[in-house]
Structure 1
Amino acid sequence: MTKMKIALLGSIVATMATGAAAAELNLICSADVVICERLVADFEGSHDIDVNMVRLSSGEAYAKIRAEGRNPQTDLWWGGTGDPHLQAAADGLTAEYKSPMLDELQPWAVSQAETSGYRTVGVYSGALGWGYNIEIFEKKGITPPACWADLLDPGLKGEIQIADPNSSGTAYTTLATLVQLMGEDEAFDYLKKLNDNVSQYTKSGSAPVKAAARGETGLGIVFMHDAVAQAEEGFPIAVVAPCEGTGYEIGSMSMIEGAQNPDEAKVFYDWVLGADVQSIMPEAGSYQIPSNKNAKAPEAAPDLSTIKLIDYDFAEYGGAERRSALLARWDADVGGAATE
């Protein structure tokens, strides 16, 4: 075989190898890992794209994307509370993209996109509350709390878990909700008193109610749909919406500015906004309200129309300056006390 034929054969083999290699997508998922894995499996089953997925809480995801700002290793960030997504948009870390699916989305999902300059979009929604272990409360004779004020009951000492707002979008939503509900100084006074009843500040937002389901703690402050998920699995968890009013999340999705695989990111982005995809979420234990108007909401999902929701200011509390200031104050006033 001549050198020319050998070179030509090598070129053909290389071309075939390149053509056979599947496209890739580097995904951060900030929802429950079961939901993340279900989305990846379904997407890979219907697309010739390999997904490299890492599960991180919202705050951790934002920190990773910010750290990679000059050399992005992530293509797409799906799920988690909207505030850090909005902060990433304000920081120029995420890319503008107007999906052709926008016309199918709920007004609150489109509003999230408009607020961010189309650098993020709403994918689901859910209200903040808590879940408590009925058996533990009955055994210890604790009166179930119906209001934020009730969580300060001395009888709940050591029975409450909530996440750290630095790592968890759920906990940051709680912090921002209380500030909007009470006023900043009053909210931090409340949180310092609540600290006396908190046994642990977890990294993940849904971890507190999972601990309550296992009987490791009495109550977890979480998004209500996470408490519903535990109740639907058969655990003795009761779900509560605070009587004074509560905040809510717009779980969001963002493409990363300078991503290595932007075309693949757009394919996943449009696919996951579809009604068919969003309708399968309950099969993975997800009970949020879907953002696609044509998707079927889970029957067990909390009915937001029956919950007293505050007028949560996503633009302000998703802004970099406000969010950073609140987290710094939490570290000084609450987080510091928790480690003493």
Structure 2
Amino acid sequence: MKLNIVRDSTGIITAKLIAEKDNPQADVVWGLAATSLLVLDQNGMLEGYSPQGVDRIQPDFKDKNSPTRWVGIDAWETAFIVNKKEMEKRGLPVPQSYADLIKPEYKGLITMPNPASSGTGFLTVSGLVQLEGKDKAWAYMDKLHDNIAMYVHSGSKPAKMAGTGEVPIGISFGYRGIQEKKTGAPVEVVFPKEGSG
């Protein structure tokens, strides 16, 4: 038997699965955001299976149907991955909050994942809406957009770019930033004061 593995960003995998709905190509989906799994479930695309021990998983981290149609494997949170050397070169402090990111001195120094193709990007936008309410969050994101150097396809790429200094500040998920730091990148992982998605 041949195993084919397809890896891509959340939005791309979700779109691919939906496009293949009438002729499914995937047998197993691993590591997709719960928001996408809910969409797949609403479209009748997930088959239930309750393995032994699924009852020990907290209800918030699994489907409530029986048999279970999806189970979470981990949780992610938004963080800023900041290259300290690049910030020192510019004489700028490491941002500590979402409010800091919209200051004019950070213009063109930030990258983040595109929320249309990346689950991490969507998580960031969703988190801001949950923290601030819809109107304030969208007004904030308009200001943040003015400081964004580029939007990227992947949720982990902003952390990698900050690690190399390509872009000094990457909005990413915290775990990826911690991995960059462990490999020796001169980064600080900042969980914003206001909270994280």
Using structure 2 for the length normalisation, give the TM-score: 0.94
Residue matched to 2:150 = 200
- Determine if contact 2:50/2:67 at 8 Å carries over to the other structure: no
Q: Write the deviation string for residues 23-47 of structure 1: whole angstroms up to 9, x where unpaired.
A: xxxxxxxxxxxxxxxxxxxxxxxxx
Q: Deviations over 1:235-275 (max 9, x none)?
A: 0110011111112xxxxxxxxxxxxxxxxxxxxxxxxxxxx
Identity of aligned residues (%): 38
> Counterpart of 1:158 in 2: which secondary structure?
coil
Q: Retained in 2: the 8 A contact 1:169–1:205?
A: yes
- The match for 1:63 is 15
Residue equivalent to 1:96: 48
- Flag the 1:223–1:72 CA change in 2: closer, same or farther, 3 A: same
Question: Is 2:144 the partner of 1:191?
Answer: no
The alpha-carbon distance between structure 1 residues 200 and 116, as it changes in their structure 2 partners (threshold 3 A), is: farther
How many angstroms apart in 1 are the aligned matches of 2:67 and 2:126? 22
Correspondence for 2:3 = 51
Match of 1:80 in 2: 32
Q: Are the structure 2 counterparts of residues 116 and 227 from structure 1 closer, same or farther at C-alpha, using a change threshold of 3 Å?
A: farther
SS state at 2:162 partner: helix
Task: For 2:6, give the aligned amino acid.
Answer: V
Bigger proportion of residues as strand: 1
Residue segments in structure 1 that go unaligned for 5+ positions in a row: 1-21, 23-49, 248-340
- 1:146 aligns with 96
Q: 1:116 to 1:126 in 2, by over 3 A?
A: farther
Match of 1:303 in 2: none
**Alpha-carbon distance, 1:126 to partner:** 2.4
CA contact (8 A) 2:50 2:66 kept: no
User: Are the aligned partners of 2:112 and 2:150 in contact in 1 as well (CA < 8 Å)?
Assistant: yes
Taking structure 1 as reference, are residues 174 and 116 closer, same or farther at Cα in structure 2, changes over 3 Å only?
farther
CA distance in 1, matches of 2:143, 2:163: 25
The alignment partner of 1:162 has SS state of strand
Q: CA deviation at 1:104?
A: 4.4
Question: For 2:172, which of 201, 219, 222 is the aligned residue?
Answer: 222
Contact 1:86 1:116 in 2 (8 A): no
The Cα shift of 1:107 comes to 5.0
**1:90–1:116 CA contact under 8 A, matched in 2:** no
The structure that is helix-richer by fraction is: 1
C-alpha distance in structure 1 between counterparts of 2:126 and 2:172, whole Å? 14
Change in Cα spacing, 1:203 to 1:116, as seen in structure 2 (3 Å) is farther
Aligned partner of 1:166 in structure 2 is 116
Structure 2: state its 5+ residue gaps.
Answer: none
TM-score by length of 1: 0.56
Q: Distance in 1 between matches of 2:99 and 2:33?
A: 24
Compared with structure 1, are the counterparts of its residues 80 and 231 closer, same or farther at alpha carbon in structure 2 (3 Å cutoff)? Answer: farther
Aligned partner of 1:157: which letter? K
Q: Which has the higher contact order (CA 8 A, sep 6+)?
A: 2
